[in-house]
Amino acid sequence: MKSKVSVIGAGNVGATLGGMLAQSGLADVALFDIAEGMPQGKALDIRQACALWGSASRITGTNGYEDTRGSDIAVITAGLARKPGMSRDDLLRANAEIVGGAAEQVARLSPSAIVIVVTNPVDAMAYLAWKATGFPSKRVVGMGGALDSARLRAFIALELGVSPADVSAVVIGSHGDEMVPLTRLASVGGVPLTELLEKQKIEAIVQRTRHGGAEIISLLKTGSAYAAPAASAFEMLRAIMLDEKRVLPCSAYLDGQYGIKGVYAGAPVVLGKEGVEKVVEITLDEAEKSAFARSAEAIKTLIDKL
């Protein structure tokens, strides 16, 4: 029997993720949105594409939470997207109500589900979803570090003219301006990045990664990134559904790891069928430690506002 995944929010990220899931054949999908007709139309479009993909996944569009009942995994993408000049922090109040309500419905209808939060500001929203569901923290995880790490890998690959598949890099901390790209540990085909690029160019790549989402928003004018966020969420979903034990940077509840307690923040975690099965601790140098502490403090400020 296929897994059931509910995607709450059928905007660009949600619908793209729904399409990826349907194409993979890994799960049946319930695509939920409050906009009448919109999730139904997108689901019908994806179902027609399944004929070309050779996929037997069923995808249903709905305006009723009841259709999400019994989900193995629920992905919350619902919320307002950033507009030009808007920070992730500006979204806090608007999206807290949406995410909190969605999390309560997930807990009511799918009490055994694992929840992946995509809505920004994702670290604070993951904390809110954890509180609203009452689930163990290992069953609520935020998508942030996977996306930031993908952006860092992409920019390194562009600079060097190599395949991003051969670039290994990780970003920890908040999914925001206080993120901590660990360039000291980045490598290309096993060769340390520091041996391939001078410090100035690495710093330029770091700055572009920090503002990777804002760069896309400024180019699109109306809307924000969705292909890479959806692909990041899909990578996390697949790791959970197939119990792959992937080590991916995600927003997870830290209970003393890295000297941080009581917040959701980006860190490498082992993702498997139980959700966040372990937080992997990397030995950080002093500069990285203090940057991570600042990052966690920024997240804590948002959580306190909640």
Same domain, 122 and 250: no
Among 89, 108, 142, identify where a domain stops: 142
CATH code for position 96? 3.40.50.720
Sequence letter at residue 113? A
Same domain, 8 and 63: yes
Cα 222 to Cα 237: distance, rounded to the nearest angstrom: 28
Same domain, 276 and 132: no
Nearest C-alpha neighbor of 248 from the set 262, 225, 227, 232: 232
Indicate the pTM of the whole model. 0.95
Q: What's the confidence (pLDDT) of residue 86?
A: 66
Same domain, 116 and 206: no
**pLDDT over threshold 90, residue 21:** yes
**Mean pLDDT throughout 237-251?**
98
**Percent of all residues in the chain with a pLDDT value above 70, rounded to a whole number:** 98
Same domain, 133 and 278: no
Peptide bond into 121 cis (omega under 30): yes
**Which of 14-23, 72-81, 100-109, 187-196 has the weakest average pLDDT?**
72-81
Per-residue pLDDT tens digits for 132-186: 999 999 999 999 899 999 999 999 999 999 999 999 999 999 998 899 999 999 9
Residue with tokens 């993909």: 53
Nearest C-alpha neighbor of 113 from the set 132, 139, 141, 78: 139
**Cα 303 from chain centroid (whole Å):** 18
**pLDDT over threshold 70, residue 83:** no
Residue 74, helix vs strand vs coil: strand
Q: What's the confidence (pLDDT) of residue 67?
A: 98
CATH code for position 239? 3.90.110.10
Among 142, 161, 185, identify where a domain stops: 142
Same domain, 187 and 107: no
**pLDDT over threshold 90, residue 82:** no
Return the number of other C-beta atoms located less than 10 Å from residue 256's C-beta.
10
Same domain, 153 and 112: no
**Mean pLDDT throughout 223-228?**
93
Per-residue pLDDT tens digits for 84-136: 676 656 778 889 999 999 999 999 999 999 999 999 999 999 999 999 999 99
Same domain, 163 and 78: no
Among 142, 165, 192, identify where a domain stops: 142
Active site members: 175
Residue 188, H or E segment: strand 187-188
| Number of domains, the chain | 2
**Which of 69-73, 79-83, 188-192, 283-287 has the weakest average pLDDT?**
79-83
Q: What single DSSP character describes residue 80?
A: P
Same domain, 17 and 49: yes
Look over the chain and give the mean of its residue pLDDT values, rounded to a whole number. 95
**Mean pLDDT throughout 224-248?**
97
Q: What's the confidence (pLDDT) of residue 261?
A: 95
State the residue range of the domain holding 153: 145-305
